[in-house]
C-alpha cells in the first residue's frame, strides 16, 4: 500500500504520517524539506500546492499512490472585501483546486487495481460556515461536494472517498487562527461542548480506520471530528 499525505511537515499531516507507517509505504509532501526528512517516510516531494504542483502530480503517478490524503490547507481571516485577489486565489488553489488535481492523477492507478482510498481533510468551517473566514469556509465546503460526487463515480471500483472535518485542533495552524480572530482561547473553549481542542492524533486514527477493510462501506461521507462543535452550543 503506497500512501501519500500532503502537508505532512507538521500538525495533522505529521500525525497522520506517523500513524500510518505500520500499514504501508508512507510518502509525504510539504514546503519544508527539513521537516519532511524528519518524518522518516519512505520518500518525500517538496512542493507548494499554491504554486506549481506538476512535480507532485508526476510523483503520484510514479509511486503508484493508492491512498491519497489531501491534508494541506491554508487559513485566512478577514472580511471578503478586505482580501486581495492573490490571497483569494491562493486559498482556493491550496484548499480545493490542488486536491482535485492530485486526485485526478491518482484515480487511473486506483481504477486499474480496483481499490483505493481518498481522504480529504476539510474543516468544521466548511460544514457550518465561519464569519470572516468565507474563502476558507467555502474552499473546505467545496471539498465536501467533491467528495460526494467522486464517491459516486468511483464506488464500483472499490475506491472510497471521504472527508474528515476537524473542529479546533491543537496545532500551530489552529492556534494561529485563534490569534487572528477576535476571540480568546478561553472564549473559544467555552463554545466547544467538550471544552477541549481535538488532538491531531484523533484525526490520524480516523484516517487509519477509513483506510481499513472494516470501513469499505463508508464512502461519500463528511465526518465531523469536532468535540461536538457542529451540534450546537
Q: Which residues are designated catalytic?
A: 136
End-to-end Cα, the chain, rounded Å: 41
**E strand or H helix at 200:** helix 200-211
Q: Which three cell numbers stand for residue 211?
A: 483506510
* CA distance linking residue 68 with residue 4, whole number of Å: 5
* CA distance linking residue 168 with residue 187, whole number of Å: 12
Cα angle 121, 201, 146 (rounded to 5 degrees) comes to 10
3-state DSSP percent of the chain in helix, strand and coil, to 5 = 50, 15, 35
With CA atoms as reference, report the closest residue to 192 among 144, 102, 110, 128: 128
**E strand or H helix at 165:** strand 159-166
Amino acid at each position: 500500500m503506497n500512501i501519500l499525505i500532503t502537508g505532512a511537515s507538521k500538525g495533522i499531516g505529521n500525525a497522520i504520517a506517523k500513524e500510518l507507517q505500520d500499514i504501508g509505504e508512507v510518502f509525504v509532501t510539504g514546503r519544508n524539506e527539513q521537516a519532511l526528512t524528519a518524518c522518516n517516510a519512505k520518500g518525500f516531494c517538496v512542493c507548494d500546492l499554491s504554486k506549481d504542483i506538476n512535480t507532485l502530480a508526476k510523483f503520484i503517478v510514479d509511486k503508484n499512490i493508492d491512498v491519497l490524503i489531501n491534508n494541506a490547507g491554508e487559513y485566512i481571516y478577514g472580511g471578503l472585501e478586505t482580501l486581495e485577489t492573490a490571497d483569494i486565489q491562493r486559498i482556493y488553489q491550496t484548499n480545493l483546486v490542488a486536491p482535485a488535481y492530485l486526485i485526478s492523477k491518482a484515480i487511473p492507478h486506483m481504477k486499474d487495481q480496483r481499490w483505493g482510498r481518498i481522504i480529504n481533510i476539510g474543516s468544521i468551517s466548511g460544514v457550518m460556515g465561519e464569519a470572516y473566514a468565507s474563502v476558507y469556509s467555502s474552499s473546505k465546503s467545496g471539498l465536501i461536494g467533491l467528495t460526494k460526487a467522486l464517491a459516486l463515480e468511483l464506488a464500483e471500483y472499490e475506491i472510497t472517498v471521504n472527508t474528515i472535518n476537524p473542529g479546533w485542533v491543537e496545532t500551530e495552524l489552529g492556534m494561529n487562527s485563534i490569534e487572528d480572530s477576535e476571540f480568546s482561547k478561553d472564549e473559544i473553549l467555552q463554545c466547544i461542548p467538550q471544552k477541549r481542542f481535538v488532538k491531531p492524533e484523533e484525526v490520524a486514527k480516523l484516517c487509519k480506520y477509513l483506510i481499513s477493510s472494516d470501513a469499505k462501506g463508508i464512502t461519500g461521507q463528511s465526518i465531523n471530528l469536532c468535540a461536538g462543535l457542529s451540534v450546537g452550543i
